[in-house]
Amino acid sequence: MAAENVNTREVSYPGKACTIRAYVAEPAHTGHQHPAVIVVQEWWGLDDHIKDVTRRLAGEHYFAIAPDLYSRQGNQVTKDPNIAAQLMSGLDHKDGIDDLLATINWLKAQDSVRASHTGVIGFCMGGSYAMALPCVTQDIKAAAPFYGEIPPDEQLKNLACPVFYAYGENDGWIQRKDVERLANALRRFDKRGEVKIYPGCSHGFFNDTRPDVYSAADAQDAWQRVLKLFDENLKH
């Protein structure tokens, strides 16, 4: 679907602690309900890259929404890693989960959304939330975390949906042993999912606005796997 067939808008809705702002992209010709995908930001905030991913999903016939998890902190966006680190550390994990649950509730109230078929994708900080969210709610039907933190095994036991987890071999943030623990937990707990380690890739390899880490071929491979996961679990 071409970009001209996608509509975008900003929305806001109540969270536990504040009004949450979000960026929405959806297919332009809405005569029926679309499955939904929540896009969770990196530590930089709700920036142009995350908005682009949201539009790309709308181009694949999803109602895509990127909630601003820094709504509690004045909706800040930065390219400075020091400021990004402060913003991320200023967001309590439970508060981030609460704001994502509020996003799910908002989706359930939208006529153009098939909210019973909702997925999540996230990167870096957002990858941690995309991995954790389906461990705390049954409402997520597919999850695609990119290089996020892995919840403890006692939480992974509650994983409610299939997962595609993408990880770069040279990631300096997420420990390889935790990624291998996830792969083992999926087998032990009989959960559907794939953990793919991309050789030679660094943390953030999907982000095409960062030439220092972006790997085009690997990002494309990961994207096709995400679309396959979502197609099989959200569109049928």
Q: Is the dihedral of CA 76, 25, 127, 208 positive or negative?
A: negative
3-state secondary structure of 207: coil
User: Average of pLDDT values for 153-164?
Assistant: 98
59 DSSP assignment: T
Among 68, 99, 171, 218, the one annotated catalytic = 171
Among 124, 135, 161, 201, the one annotated catalytic = 124
Q: How confident is the model at residue 1 (pLDDT cuts 50, 70, 90)?
A: very low
**Strand intervals (E) in 124-187:** 140-146, 163-168
For residue 82, how many other CB atoms are within 10 A of its CB? 8
Bridge partners of 115, per DSSP, are: none
175 DSSP assignment: -
Domains identified in the chain and CATH numbers:
3-234 (3.40.50.1820)
- Residue-wise pLDDT for 5-21, tens only, equals 999 999 999 999 999 99
18 has catalytic annotation = no
- Residue-wise pLDDT for 203-225, tens only, equals 999 999 999 999 999 999 999 99
Among 99, 139, 203, 218, the one annotated catalytic = 203
Alpha helix segments (H runs only) across 168-215: 176-188
- Residue-wise pLDDT for 42-64, tens only, equals 999 999 999 999 999 999 999 99
Bridge partners of 6, per DSSP, are: 27
For residue 221, how many other CB atoms are within 10 A of its CB? 14
Residue given tokens 């994708």 in the structure block: 121
Share of the chain above pLDDT 90, in %: 96
CA torsion, points 15, 17, 23, 27, in degrees to nearest 10? 0
Sorted by sequence, the CB contacts under 8 Å of residue 181 that are 6+ apart come out as 150, 153
Quote the pLDDT of residue 3.
58
User: Average of pLDDT values for 25-39?
Assistant: 91
- Residue-wise pLDDT for 110-123, tens only, equals 999 999 999 999 99
Q: What distance in Å separates the CA atoms of residue 161 and residue 226, rounded to the nearest whole number?
A: 14
203 has catalytic annotation = yes
Q: What distance in Å separates the CA atoms of residue 60 and residue 177, rounded to the nearest whole number?
A: 34
171 has catalytic annotation = yes
Rounded to whole angstroms, what are the CA distances from 189 to 12, 154, 185, 196? Answer: 38, 10, 6, 18
Mean of per-residue pLDDT scores for the chain = 96
- Residue-wise pLDDT for 73-113, tens only, equals 999 999 999 999 999 999 999 999 999 999 999 999 999 99
Quote the pLDDT of residue 4.
66
Q: What distance in Å separates the CA atoms of residue 66 and residue 90, rounded to the nearest whole number?
A: 19
Helices 125-132 and 93-108, axial angle in degrees (round to 10): 60
3-state secondary structure of 161: coil
Share of the chain above pLDDT 70, in %: 98
